[in-house]
Structure 1
Amino acid sequence: MFTFQHISYKDILYVEDLHIEEKTITALIGESGTGKSTLLKLMNHLLSPTKGEILYQGSPVQDRNAVELRREVAMLSQNPVLFGDTVRDNLEAGMGFAGKPLPSENEMKEALHRYYLDKDLEDHAEKLSGGEQQRLALARITLLDPTVFLLDEPTSALDDELEHDVMEAFISYAGHQEKTVIFVTHSRAIADEFADTILDITPFSMQGGNDNE
C-alpha cells in the first residue's frame, strides 16, 4: 500500500526502503524526536519529503489530489483539535470534507460507547479531560471511515488499563472492517499485542522490527 524509496525529510528522518502492506496494523515506536510523527505526515502529504518518493497504491503521494488523498488516508494527531461546542459537533465535524453524510444519533452513540466514553451528545467538548478528548477524536475519525488510519499516540493520555481496552476496541473494529492502520505509540506492550509489524524509529533512519504472530 505504501512504499518508501530513499526518503529523507530535512535532518529529522531517513527511510531507505520500506513497504507497508494493505489491511495490516503497523506500530511505530522509538524515542521522542526521531521522526515518528513526521513519517505519518508524509503519508498523507501534510509534509513533502526533502528527497525520495513515497508511493500510495502504486502512485506518488505528491501527485495525488491532497483532498482526495486525505479522505482515504486520515490522520489523528496526538493533541486533537476540538470543533464547535458539543460532543455532537465534534462527531459530525469533517463529514462534509470526507464526502460522507452526517452520522445518525445511534452511530454517534455507538462510537462513543466503543471507546468507553459515557457522554451525552450535547455535553460541552471543552469540559472533557485530555483522555476523554482523545477518545472523542478517535470516535470521530472512526465515523469518517477512511481506508487508512494514521494515529499519533491516540491513547497517550489514558492509564494503562483504559489504554489497552480502547486500543483493543479500535483494533477489533479495524480488523473487521479490513482497514490499514499505522499508529505511533509510547507503549511497547501495546505495540507487541496489537501490531502485525513493529517499526523501530531511530535518529535519521528507520529499521523494521519483527512481525508479531
Structure 2
Amino acid sequence: MFSIKQLVFKDILTVNNLEIESGKIYCLFGESGSGKSTLLKMFNSMLTPDQGTITYKDQSIANLDPVQLRREVVMLGQDPVVFEGTVRDNLLIGLQFADEADVEDQVLIDLLNDLHLTKDLDDEADKLSGGEQQRLAFGRVLLMNAEVYLLDEPTSALDEETETAIMDLFTKKIRDEGKMAIMVTHSKEVAEKYSDEIIYMNDIVTKEGDFS
C-alpha cells in the first residue's frame, strides 16, 4: 500500500526503507520527538519530504492530486477539528468532502450511540467538551469510508473506558471492511492491543544521510 525509500525531512526524519501493507493496522511508536506525527502526515501529503519518495498503490504521492489522496487517506489529528454548525453538520461534512451522498439522521444517531456520545444532532458542536469533540471527529472520519485511516493520538482526551469502546468500534470496522490504519499513540498498551504491527521509530530512523 505504502512504500518509503530514502526519505529525508529536515533534521527530524531519515528513513531508508519502509513497507506498509494493505489490510493491517499499524502503530508508530516511539519517544516524544522521534518523528511519529511528522511521518504520519506524509502519508497524505500534509508534509512533503525534502528527499526520497513515498508511494501509495505504486504511485508516487508527489504525483497524486492531494484532494483525491485525502479522500482515500483520511487524517484524524490529535486536536479535533470542529466546524461551525451542529453535530449533524460536523458529521456530514466529511461525506461532502469525500463527494459521497449524505446519510439519514438515524444512521447518525446510531453512530453517536456507538461513540458513547449522548448529544442531539441539533446541538452546537462548539459547545461540546474536548473529549466529546474528539469522538465527534472520530464519527466524521468513520462515515467517510476511506481506504486508509491516519490517527494521531486519537483517544488522548478520553477516559480509559471510553477509549476502549471507541477503539474496539474502530478496529472492528477496519478489520470487517478490509481497510487499513496507521496510528500514533503514546500508549504501548493501546499499540499492543489494537495493532497488527508496531513500527518502532528507533528501528526505522537512521543517521542523517546514512542510506547504506
**TM-score, normalized by the shorter chain, greater than 0.5:** yes
Q: How does 1:1-213 map to 2 (within 5 A)?
A: 1-202=1-202, 205=205
Letter in 2 for 1:110: D
**Residue segments in structure 2 that go unaligned for 5+ positions in a row:** 207-212
Following superposition, the deviation at residue 95 of structure 1 comes to 2.0
Following superposition, the deviation at residue 203 of structure 1 comes to 9.9
d(CA) in 1 for partners of 2:204, 2:3: 18
Give % identity. Answer: 46
d(CA) in 1 for partners of 2:94, 2:131: 21
> What RMSD in Å do the two structures reach over aligned CA positions?
1.5
Following superposition, the deviation at residue 204 of structure 1 comes to 8.6
Contact 2:25 2:180 in 1 (8 A): yes
Q: SS at the partner of 1:96?
A: helix
Identify the structure with the greater strand proportion: 1
Contact 2:6 2:15 in 1 (8 A): yes
**Residue segments in structure 1 that go unaligned for 5+ positions in a row:** 207-213
d(CA) in 2 for partners of 1:79, 1:55: 27
d(CA) in 2 for partners of 1:129, 1:202: 35
Q: SS at the partner of 2:96?
A: coil
Contact 1:44 1:66 in 2 (8 A): yes
d(CA) in 2 for partners of 1:21, 1:83: 33
Contact 2:24 2:180 in 1 (8 A): yes
Q: SS at the partner of 2:166?
A: helix
Following superposition, the deviation at residue 99 of structure 1 comes to 1.0
Contact 1:71 1:98 in 2 (8 A): yes
Which deviates the most, 20-29 or 93-102?
93-102
Letter in 1 for 2:135: R
Count of matched residue positions in the alignment of Structure 1 and Structure 2: 206
Contact 1:82 1:125 in 2 (8 A): yes
Q: 1:191 to 1:203 in 2, by over 3 A?
A: closer
Following superposition, the deviation at residue 143 of structure 1 comes to 0.5
Q: SS at the partner of 1:142?
A: helix
